[in-house]
Amino acid sequence: MRAELGGKTQYRKEEYHVLFGFEASHVVEVITPLFREKNLLLVPFYVHSRIGLMEHLDKNPDTGAIVIVDRMPSGKLTAEEICYLAEKYKVQCVPLLAASWRGTAEMEKLYRRGILRAEFYETGKDAGSDVIREQGMAMRIANELLNGRNHDSAKAYYEIVGRVV
């Protein structure tokens, strides 16, 4: 964003509001410089429940993306709930899902409804801190937020290649 200030052209970073459904300070610390390189100012928010997600999104329509773990303290999220959040609030959604979701009808549902940015973590990890501290997870989240994934690569990554037309 360009603005004139005191006769000089100043460039301000565009804000990118991201809502994390878990304590993600470690992720934010790692990915903030990557956003800066793209002239984006990462503005993170944190909530820890389904209700917190919806309340924040209701009050903050400028939220661009949500990053959520499939196992929240209030219980497991379903594909339907993830799709609902993305569709109702018109946000990019990066769900962090247990590897056991791969190749399932739930992944097919996410794919068909336009959720192409899911990332998988090693099944058996505790939700939250163990997942986000998994090797490379912060960089994978940053890549999905900044670049996304196309339909063909999502289909392959989700292991639903032969199942979806």
Alpha helices in the chain (DSSP H): 25-37, 50-59, 79-89, 105-112, 129-132, 137-146, 151-157
Q: Classify residue 162: in a domain, yes or no.
A: no
**Can you give the residue range of the structural domain that contains 123?**
2-157
Residue 165 lies in a domain: no
Q: Which two tokens mark 121? A: 């973590």
- Retrieve residue 72's tokens: 């929240």
Residue 84: CATH number of its domain:
3.40.50.2300
Q: What is the reported pLDDT for 164?
A: 56
Give the C-alpha separation, 56 to 124, whole Å: 29
49 within domain boundaries: yes
Number of domains in the chain: 1
- pLDDT score of 161: 77
Q: According to the model, what pLDDT value does residue 133 have?
A: 62
* pLDDT attached to residue 18: 97
Asked, for residue 74, whether it belongs to a domain, the answer is yes
Looking at the domain assignment, is residue 164 inside a domain? Answer: no
pLDDT in tens for each of the 165 residues of the chain? 433 444 444 455 799 999 999 888 889 999 999 999 999 999 999 999 999 999 999 999 999 999 999 988 878 899 999 999 999 999 999 999 999 999 999 999 999 999 999 999 886 555 555 556 666 899 999 999 999 999 999 999 999 977 655
